[in-house]
Chain A
Amino acid sequence: MPQAVVFEQPAPLTLPRKRIRWGEQLVHVLLFIAAAISVLTTLGIVLSLLLPALDFFREVSPWEFLTGTTWAPLFLDAHFGVVPLVVGTFLISFLSALVAFPLGVGVAIYLSEYAGQRVTGVLKPVLEILAAIPTVVLGYFALTFVTPLLRDIGLDVEIFNALSASLVLGVMLIPTIASLSEDAMAAVPRDLRDGGYALGADKLQVSTRIVVPAAISGIIAAFVLGFSRAVGETIIVLIAAGQLAQITFDPRETIETMTAFIGATGNGDIPTGSIEYKTIFAVGLTLFVITLVMNLISIRLVRKYREIYE
């Protein structure tokens, strides 16, 4: 019997770092600096809003600002109640959500559950083109095409009105809602659909009772993000909805949103340090806080549904 060869146990392999690669370290630092620019941007936004806004609140009490129902900062008898601007903003946002949410989800279900690969390959780029139309062009379209059209069909709308701005804004939001909702639906495992079909469900039942509920947090995230985009949209409402700050829930009337006020006022030559100048920042801060809360909700929802199916 041959003697068993006993191998000597090799020394544990160690790969000591010969030298520090300074070039690699430098690259790491440079990359970090590039990434930090985004943090600096946020910091810059917060500071540029907060400091003048604090100045503003030294002259106008936050209570008067948040609860006042008259917005007339440029008048001799100035009033600084932001409520009309907030009401205008939410009127526009709710109306456009009324257009964009059902239609966006409809498009998403169609693309995800019904359309074949070839149809999707054509329709998705077209949706992207709709998303790429500059807002100034959409605003012009709302003012010169949609408003006259509304009058033609017998609606008694003002020249500048909330309705036409909301309709166009709603259509503009369809691609955003559709694409995010479709992502969420695509993440629903095939097994769930097959299980439904195996139990005798038809396509309508599988779509509405299995796919949509399973993707619901993603769809809600899309809604929240879409709503926040509507709140932040400036040019369409500035062109088509007008600049008359009033508390009204009638979409046929002229209104003013927070963004429209900022855009119209920032455009002019207002002396730095004047109270009119500071209102831009107070309204901007209000807008920023509203959209920030919505974005954080949306980010959280998206993360939640990702955890379930991946």
Chain B
Amino acid sequence: MTLVEHERPHEEPTPESSRESRAWRNRLFKAAMLFSMLVAFGTLVVLLVDTIVTGWPAIEWKLFSDPPSTLPEEAGGRPAILATLYLGALVLLLSVPIGVLTAIYLEEYANRERWWNRFIEVNIQNLAAVPSIVYGILGLAFIVRGIGVGRVVFAGGLILTLVVLPTVVVASREAIRSVPDSIRQGAFALGATKWQVVWRQVLPAAIPGMATGSILALSRAVGETAPLIMVGAITYVAFDPELFGAYTALPVQIYNWTKQPDPEFQTLAAAGALVLLVIVLTMNAVAIFLRNRYRRQW
């Protein structure tokens, strides 16, 4: 057994130099990783600071009280901000029940042997990755033109619901899955029916996880622009939105301000972005807080 010798024709480095070059390679690798972190977090910090610095001068009361205008000094974002709140409420009301029920079906009821249940699963995974602008096309074809309700708040809310529904389902499924089986079996042993087990034992235990997922999904819906420019959200809306009335949403308003050549509109866009960031990041903070506060070890 003397094979090993001539399989390594090259000179073995001395232990000293090899240890040294090893240490250097490790340091270099660590530096590369820290650089990755720096790019990600550095960009985040620069973006936040830039938005605050640019947008702060335009954060005035008129931004919240006045409708948009062709004159930047008179323009506000009241209809857009209100419509975004309406949209958020609609998405919450629609996506949470549907999402949670779907998750319960897939986790507690569906028989994985059946092809249609597997199909539903793959389908939801796939929907989660469909570009949001494609949902906008769906809305354009069906809701706005097909059924003919027009470019109204309700149509926007419906489409945003479909956009975030897969996120709610995936988060709720994870929350349900983390409830240990012993709880279900204990309830069954006491004579509970399946729905009693789900409704009185599994769901209450899974609520924190579901709430976290739902809030994150909602924050995504509130910041979503692409589908809304397809199904509604016109440039100039001077009145408060109604459920079945024309509207513009805050992200769309920001997008429209961005397109204006006048630099004062750029400031307004930054101010709008600041308001949107505050809304979205508050939701994220609440979600992260809930997750940490109610994390349970079984």
* A contacts, CB < 8 Å to B: 21, 23-24, 27-28, 30-32, 34-39, 41-42, 44-45, 48-49, 51-52, 102-107, 109-110, 114, 123, 125-130, 132-141, 143-145, 168, 171, 174-175, 178, 202-204, 207-208, 225, 228-229, 231-235, 238-239, 259, 262-263, 266-267, 272, 280-281, 284, 287-288, 291-292, 294-296, 298-299
Shortest Cβ distance from B277 into A: residue: A137
CB B14 to nearest CB in A, in angstroms, measures 16
Q: How far is the CA of A31 from the CA of B198 in the complex (A)?
A: 12
Does A106 lie within 8 Å of B36, measured CB to CB?
A: yes
**A262 & B251 in contact (Cβ 8 Å cutoff):** no
Interface residues of B (CB under 8 A from A): 22, 25-26, 29-30, 32-37, 39-41, 43-44, 46-47, 50-51, 54, 97-98, 101-102, 104-106, 109-110, 119-120, 122-127, 129-138, 140-142, 145-146, 162, 165-166, 169, 193-195, 216, 219-220, 222-226, 229-230, 251, 254-255, 258-259, 266, 269-270, 273, 276-277, 280-281, 284, 288
B120 touches A39 (CB 8 A): yes
In the assembled complex, 6 residue pairs joining A and B whose CB atoms fall closer than 8 Å, in A order, are: A128-B288, A135-B223, A171-B39, A202-B22, A280-B140, A281-B141
Knowing A35-B101, A106-B32, the reply to whether A295 touches B145 (Cβ < 8 A) is no
Q: How far is the CA of A266 from the CA of B135 in the complex (A)?
A: 12
Whether the pair A125, B126 counts as a contact (CB closer than 8 A) is: no
A24 and B102 within 8 A (CB): no
Q: A129-B44, A140-B269, A281-B137 are in contact. List 14 more A-B contacts (CB 8 A).
A: A32-B105, A38-B102, A44-B142, A51-B141, A129-B281, A130-B44, A144-B54, A203-B26, A204-B29, A262-B136, A267-B229, A280-B137, A287-B131, A291-B129
With a CB–CB cut-off of 8 A, which chain B residues contact A144?
A: 50, 54, 266, 270
A263 touches B226 (CB 8 A): yes
Contact status B133-A48, CB under 8 Å: no
Answer whether A266 and B280 are a contact pair too, CB < 8 Å, given A171-B40, A234-B132: no
Structural contact, B141 and A135, CB atoms closer than 8 A: no
Contact yes or no, B133 A132, CB < 8 A: no
In contact, A48 and B142 (Cβ under 8 angstroms): yes
CB distance B102 to A49 under 8 Å?
no
Across the interface, do B284 and A38 meet the contact criterion of CB distance under 8 Å? Answer: no
Shortest Cβ distance from A218 into chain B, in angstroms? 15
Contact A21 B193 (CB under 8 A): yes
List the B residue with the shortest CB-CB distance to A273: B145
A21 to B165, CA, bound (A): 30
Question: Top 4 closest A-B pairs, CB basis?
Answer: A232-B131, A134-B223, A106-B36, A48-B141
B273 with A288: CB separation less than 8 A: no
Contact, CB under 8 Å: A263 / B229: yes
Please report the C-alpha to C-alpha distance between residue A136 and residue B253 in the assembled complex, in whole angstroms: 10
Are B131 and A110 touching (Cβ within 8 A)? no
In angstroms, how far is the closest chain A Cβ from the Cβ of B267?
10
- Complex CA distance for A152 and B50, rounded to whole angstroms: 16
State whether A136 and B225 are in contact (beta carbons under 8 Å apart), knowing that A127-B40, A272-B145 are contacts in the complex: yes
Residues of B within 8 A of A35 (CB): 101-102, 105-106, 110, 120
Q: Which one of B35, B51, B225, B266 lies within 8 Å of A235 (CB-CB)?
A: B225
The CA of A239 and the CA of B276, in the complex, are separated in Å by 17
Residues of A within 8 A of B131 (CB): 229, 231-234, 259, 287-288, 291
Q: Are A295 and B220 in contact (CB under 8 A)?
A: no
Return the chain B residue nearest A149 by Cβ: B46
Judge whether B101 and A262 touch: CB under 8 Å.
Answer: no
Which A residue sits closest to B110, measured CB to CB? A35
Known: A42-B123, A145-B50, A263-B230. A31 touches B258 (CB 8 A): no
* Cβ B137 vs Cβ A39 within 8 A: no
Residue in A closest to B105 when the chains form the complex, CB atoms:
A31
* A114 surroundings in chain B (CB, below 8 A): 30, 33
CB distance from A187 to the nearest CB of B (A): 15
Q: From A140, A232, A267, give the contact of B258 (CB < 8 A).
A: A140
Could you say which residues of chain B place their CB within 8 Å of the CB of A140?
51, 254, 258, 269-270, 273
A259 near B127 with CB under 8 A, answer no
Instruction: Give Cα A298–Cα B281 distance, bound, in whole angstroms.
Output: 29
Chain A residues near B259 (CB, 8 Å)? 239
Nearest A-chain residue to B99, judged by Cβ: A34
Q: How far is the CA of A136 from the CA of B279 in the complex (A)?
A: 14
Complex interface: chain B residues within 8 A of A299 (CB): 122, 125-126
How distant is the Cα of A143 from the Cα of B273 in the complex, in angstroms?
A: 13
A45 touching B269, Cβ below 8 Å? no
Bound complex: CA A80 to CA B50 (Å): 40
CA distance A239 to B255 in the complex (A): 8
Please name all residues of chain B whose beta carbon is closer than 8 Å to the beta carbon of A49 when the two chains form the complex: 134, 137-138, 141
| Alpha-carbon distance A178/B37, docked complex (angstroms) | 10
Q: Which of B25, B44, B133, B222 contacts A232 (CB 8 A)?
A: B133
**Of the candidates A105, A143, A225, A267, which one forms a contact with B129 in the assembled complex, judged by CB atoms under 8 Å apart?**
A225
Q: Which residue of A lies closest to B255 (CB)?
A: A136
Nearest-Cβ distance from residue B127 to partner chain A, whole angstroms: 6
CB-contact partner of A23 in B125, B195, B277, B281, under 8 A: B195
How far, in angstroms, from A36 to B140 measured CA to CA in the complex?
Answer: 22
Complex: A208 Cα to B104 Cα, angstroms: 40
Contact B284 A141 (CB under 8 A): no
